[in-house]
Structures are given as structure tokens and as C-alpha cells.
Chains A and B, each alone.
Chain A
Amino acid sequence: MLRSDAEISRDLSVSLARLRSEMKYCVRCSNMSDEDLCRICSSSSRRQGLICVVADFRDVMAIEQTRQFAGTYHVLGGLISPMDGVGPEKLRIDELVGRIVDEQIHEILIALSATMEGDTTAFYLAKRLEPYQLTISIISRGIAIGGELEYADELTLGRSIQHRVPFGSQGY
């Protein structure tokens, strides 16, 4: 920093100050935003009846980069882990239920980490959302594209065999 142009340091400090003062959470989905409603929630081109549930706003960025999802998001703010003091009441699950009622949501896509806590949260959401006539789907798991089969861990490889798909589907 000391060797670089002084203007770069000034810009950086202004940006950091703006980040702290202007960034907030979207009132609907809890994604990071500089407006009350984030760009995704306020976009007319997004399918409003479809919500992708993620744990963290960084997951929103990851999914957006795929350009494969045209619905809206709901950021839970974490995963259920009672032993770490994170029960369902600490996450934005009641807000999700509220959105399902208010926004006439017909499909939920669960996109959570493939961990025990991710699974517990997915099961819990499915249980809580049971009374609402919804389609609930979950992102699939398997071998990474471009990955060598011999380096895949046994669990992932085993489940990929178990949940194999017909050849010709999914772009093969």
C-alpha cells in the first residue's frame, strides 16, 4: 500500500466506509444490498413463485454466477446446529414461511451444503413446509465436472452410482 499511488489508498478507504454505511440486508430475502429491496427481488425478469433457499449471501453469488437460476432467493443466515447454539429460531425460517404465504410461492429449491447440518436444515425445512402445497427440490450431488474419478471420495462416488441418471438426460 505504501508503495502504490496515494489515490488508491483514498479510494479504498472511501469504499470501505461506504460498504459499512450503505450495505444492508434486503428486507425480503436478506441478501446483501444497497437498497431496501435487492436487485434480484426487485427485478421483473425473475420468477417470483420460485425461491432458492441458501445459508449465506455468498451462496447467492455462487448460484448467480452459474446463470442457471431465474427465481428469487431466501438467505437463512446459517445452518441448524443446536450444539453450536444455532436452533431454527436463530435462522430466517419463519420469514420464509411468511413469504410462502404472502407471495404465493409454488416451488422451493434447497441449495445447502452437503454436510450433516445442511442435511438437518433441509429435512427441517421440508418438515416445516409440509402444510403448504409446494414442490420442494434440492440441488443434486455427485462427481465434480472436470474431476478425475479416481480422486473422488468414496461416499460421493458411491452415491453417484446409487443416484445414477439415464444416459441422454441432463445434457449427456
Chain B
Amino acid sequence: MKLQQLTLANFRLTEQASYEFRSKLTAITGANGRGKTNLIDAVHYLCLARSYFHPHDERLMRFGASYLWVDGQFDRAGQTFRIHGAWRPGEKGFRCDGKAYGRLSDHVGRFPAVMIAPIDINLIHEGGEQRRRLMDLTLSQEDPNYLEDLSRYNRLLRQKQAVLRGWQTTGRGDKHLLRVLTDQMHPLNLCISRRRRQWTAQMTTLFADNYRHISGGHEVPSLEYRPGWPLEAEQTASASTSEISAALGISNSHKDANLPQNEEGIVQPGINKTYNDDEAPEPIKMEQMLQQEKSSGRCLWGIHRDDLQFCLDGHPLRPHASQGQQKTYVISLKLAQAELIRQATGTQPILLLDDVFEKLDEQRVAALLDRVSAEPYHQILLTHTEQDRVRAMLSGNIDADYIAL
């Protein structure tokens, strides 16, 4: 897949501008504050309907403007697509060849992209939310059902937290409602957790290979999934709720979640995916769990508490690794993320490299460039302050164009 042309209006500092991308690699160069990062973030926005850097779209709009839009032409397997994304206060919409998507999530994954940026170091230094986002960004692009499940889970989580807050404030609440929300979240917990566990297993091999290539093979990196819910289905869904569950298409018990599917040749969609007993974490009683949640006023268990443990040579990465090692670790993860998306969708994501060479020694920079030029990446956009330095680093190894801002 290749982005051939991009136009943006009122996106961050840019009032209006158009760019063409002809080569495999486009280096966007210029001094600080010229809008290099904004340009590749606009590509991210076009591909994924969201900025990589700003969770709220109003932050993307140029000061004083009342709307923003991005428009791009993609070539995918010889077919041309025009994507148009627009935002104004209270209204956001994306179109493909003039036809509006019913939901923004329908666009996600069709034109995949992976960003590698200096803020990715937060994956190591900040809380679990950053690491869950890494998993979600990959899995959402691989599988539309995952994004749907995650959206449903997050909405239910907000509902349950509202109930728990009320319970803590007043000392009482509706036990049926708390149980119903927990039951609704349960199959989503099972499904999302299983997908994240699979993702970690797939990533481990790919990213360790990337790390060895870029670092020169001296260190052994590892990655471990830490589920945030030591709850296995002590489910006691009543007969009547099970009937409703079946009608709504929601598996509400562990038994339901293991319905045979291959005999009929029909895969259970979305939240009805199967769950392997061997993967089950230590069980705790549902009632005991709810009691603790009522006391604390917070939802204590669930995939919203999942985390990833990053290690190098068997030690946690954060306190032990150098800045260069940490950066290599993160880049290796993100390259593996791109490869997983390619394997799942058959489309090679656009690689967006924002100021990626900072804190890497020359050997690692050369190895990284060797990696991305050797792998079948269809398109790479990178930013750097100095065009001459980029030219020297590339040294004719890769077909490149330059955009000077």
C-alpha cells in the first residue's frame, strides 16, 4: 500500500498544503517547529482517524480555524482510493471515494500505519495505559471485532464505575445492576485478554529478532503479558439471563464461551470467541470481587488493568537498560507491530518514523535502516532536522525523496 498524495487544511500549524510521495522513502526535513511531526501525524490521522500525539481532535485544529480536514490518495494492490477525513466541533466524518463510513471504526485497519516517535519511550516509563494502547493499536488494525469489543468494554466500564462511585458515596446501590454490568463485561474480558495473550506470543519472536538485528545480537529481550483480572468464570448466570444472553448474542457463562464452532464451520464472532482453560488465571469468587470493588468504589479487575512486562537479559528494562537500549527495544516492538499487521491484513502498513535516530549510535542507525529497507515495507516517511545527514545515512541504499519544510 502506498500514500501517493496528501492535502491538509487547518491541521495544526498548516493552513493548507499538498504533498506528493513518489519514492519508497520520503524524508521530511527542516528546523524545529517547521511542522515535520505534524505532517506525518496528518498521515496517521488519515490512516487511523486519530492523531498519534493528541487524543482530542480540537487540539489538532489550527488556531482560529473552525474546521480541519485531511485528504489523501492511496494505491493498494493497483487500486486507487481517495480518503477524506474532516472534523469540526461536534462533528467528525471519514469518506472513502466519496462514500461516508457508517462508523469511524469501519475505516480503522483498511489503510494501516505504524508510527515510531520519541514519545514511545513512554511505553517504558509511564503506566500500563501506554502499553495497553500499543496492543490495542495493533489488534484494532488487525481485527475490526477487537475494536468493537474494546469499545463495548470501555463503555460498560464507565457505566460500572459510575455505579461503584455512587455505591461508595451513599453506601448502597443496586446489586442486580452491578452484577448485570459485570456479567456483560465478562465475555469481553475473556475475549480481549485471549487476543492480547496471543498478540504477546506472536510479538515476542518478531520483536526479539528485530532487536538482535539492530543491537548486533548481544542482548536478550523478552516480553510478558500480565493480565489485570485474576478472575476465571465463577459465573452463575441464571437461566433467564442466559436466554436473554443468547438472544442478544452474548455468551454470559464460561460454558457458553466454549461452544463448539468447528463442527458447524461457523466462527463465533466478536465477543463469543472461545477461551482456553489452560490460559485461565487464578480464580477468585465473583461475590468476593464485587465486595472489594464496592468498598473501593473502583473497578479493580478487568482488561483495563492489563500490562506488559519489558525485560532485557532477564531484568526489568526501566531501571537497568541505557537510553539507547530502551530506544532500540521500543523501535523493535514497533517494527514487530507493523509486521503483525501485515501478516493479519495482507497490507503492509506505512511506516512513520518521527525523529527516530536520536540517541542511537551509528551502528544501530545503520542496522535500523538496513532493517526497514530490507523488509518489504512499501512506504516509509521519516522526519529529521538535517537533510544532509539523512542523505549520508541512506547513502543510496534506498529509493528516497525529500520534502524540505
Give residues in A with beta carbon < 8 Å to B.
80-83, 87-89, 110, 116-117, 119-120, 122-124, 126-130, 136-138, 140-141, 153-155, 158-159, 161-163
- In whole angstroms, how far apart are the Cα atoms of A154 and B161 in the complex? 29
Contact A158 B248, CB 8 Å, known A87-B177, A116-B156, A123-B183: no
Which chain A residues border B249 with CB–CB below 8 Å?
Answer: 141, 159, 162-163
In the complex the two chains form, is B266's CB within 8 Å of A162's CB?
Answer: yes
Whether A124 pairs with B159 at a CB distance below 8 angstroms is no
A65 to B184: give the CA distance in the assembly, Å.
32
Whether the pair B269, A82 counts as a contact (CB closer than 8 A) is no
Contact residue among A116, A127, A141 (Cβ-Cβ distance under 8 Å from B155): A116
B248 to chain A: closest residue by CB: A119
Query: CB-CB < 8 A to B270: which residues of A?
Result: 155, 158-159
Binds A, one of B189-197, B237-245, B338-346: B237-245
A82 vs B248: C-alpha distance in the bound complex, in angstroms?
Answer: 21
Known contacts: A154-B145, A162-B272. The answer to whether A82 contacts B159 by CB under 8 A is: yes
Name the B residues within 8 Å of A158 (CB-CB): 145, 269-270
Kindly list the 4 A-B residue pairs having the minimum CB-CB distance in the complex, ordered from nearest.
A158-B269, A82-B162, A83-B162, A138-B247
Docked pose: A155 CA to B106 CA in angstroms: 11
Say whether, besides A87-B174, A154-B144, A120 and B269 are in contact (CB < 8 Å).
Answer: no
Q: Is A120 within 8 A of B180, CB to CB?
A: yes
List A contacts of B240 (CB < 8 A).
Answer: 126-127, 129-130, 136
For residue B250, which residue of chain A has the nearest CB?
A119
Contact indicator B152/A88 (Cβ below 8 Å): no
Cβ contact of A128, chosen from B176, B245, B266, cutoff 8 A: B176
Please state if B238 and A123 are interface contacts (CB–CB under 8 Å): no
Given the known inter-chain contacts A128-B176, A141-B249, please indicate yes or no for A116 contacting B241, CB distance below 8 A. no
- Whether the pair A123, B180 counts as a contact (CB closer than 8 A) is yes
B166 contacts chain A at the CB level, 8 A cutoff: yes
CB-contact partner of A130 in B160, B184, B238, B248, under 8 A: B238
- Per-residue CB contact flags for chain B residues 13-44 toward chain A (1 = under 8 Å, else 0) read 00000000000000000000000000000000
Contact residue among A89, A129, A153, A162 (Cβ-Cβ distance under 8 Å from B102): A153
27 A-B contact pairs sorted by A residue (CB < 8 Å): A82-B160, A82-B163, A83-B158, A87-B163, A87-B166, A88-B174, A110-B244, A116-B156, A116-B159, A119-B250, A120-B184, A122-B244, A123-B180, A124-B177, A124-B180, A127-B176, A130-B240, A130-B241, A136-B243, A137-B247, A140-B247, A153-B106, A154-B269, A158-B269, A161-B269, A162-B266, A162-B272
Q: How far is A95 from B160 in the complex, measured between Cα atoms in Å?
A: 24
Closest to B252 in A: A123
Contact with A along B171-202 (1 / 0, CB 8 A): 00010110111011000000000000000000
State whether the Cβ of B268 lies closer than 8 Å to any Cβ in chain A. yes
* Residue among B102, B162, B163, B184 making CB contact with A123, cutoff 8 Å: B184
CA distance A163 to B180 in the complex (A): 22
> Could you say which of B103, B161, B181, B244 has the most chain A C-beta atoms within 10 Å of its C-beta?
B244
B148 in the interface (beta carbon within 8 A) = yes
A110 and B174 alpha carbons, distance in the complex (Å): 21
Q: CB-CB < 8 A to B102: which residues of A?
A: 153
Within residues 231 to 280 of chain B, which ones have a CB less than 8 A from any CB in chain A? 238, 240-241, 243-245, 247-250, 266, 268-270, 272
Q: Give the CA-CA distance A120 to B241 in the complex, in Å.
A: 11
Q: Which residues of A contact B238 (CB under 8 A)?
A: 126-127, 130
Set of chain A residues within 8 Å of B103, measured between Cβ atoms: 153
Nearest A residue to B144 by beta-carbon distance?
A154
CA distance A153 to B101 in the complex (A): 10
Provided the pairs A116-B152, A123-B244, A159-B249 are in contact, do residues A81 and B184 lie with their beta carbons within 8 angstroms? no
**CB contact under 8 A between A155 and B269, given known A110-B244, A116-B155, A140-B247:** yes
Of A87, A153, A155, the most chain B CB neighbours within 10 A belong to A155
Within 8 Å CB of A141, what residues of B? 248-249
Additional A-B contacts beyond A120-B156, A120-B180 (10; CB < 8 A): A82-B159, A83-B159, A87-B177, A88-B174, A89-B174, A123-B241, A127-B240, A153-B103, A155-B269, A162-B269
Q: Of residues 297 to 327 in B, which have CB atoms within 8 Å of A's CB atoms?
A: none
Given A155-B270, A162-B268, A138-B248 contact (CB < 8 Å): yes
Query: When A141-B249, A163-B249 are in contact, do A126 and B243 touch as well, CB less than 8 Å?
Result: yes
Cα distance A119–B145 when bound, in Å?
Answer: 18
Give the Cβ gap from A94 to chain B, nearest Cβ, in Å. 12
Asked if B244 and A138 make an inter-chain contact with CB atoms under 8 angstroms apart, the answer reads yes
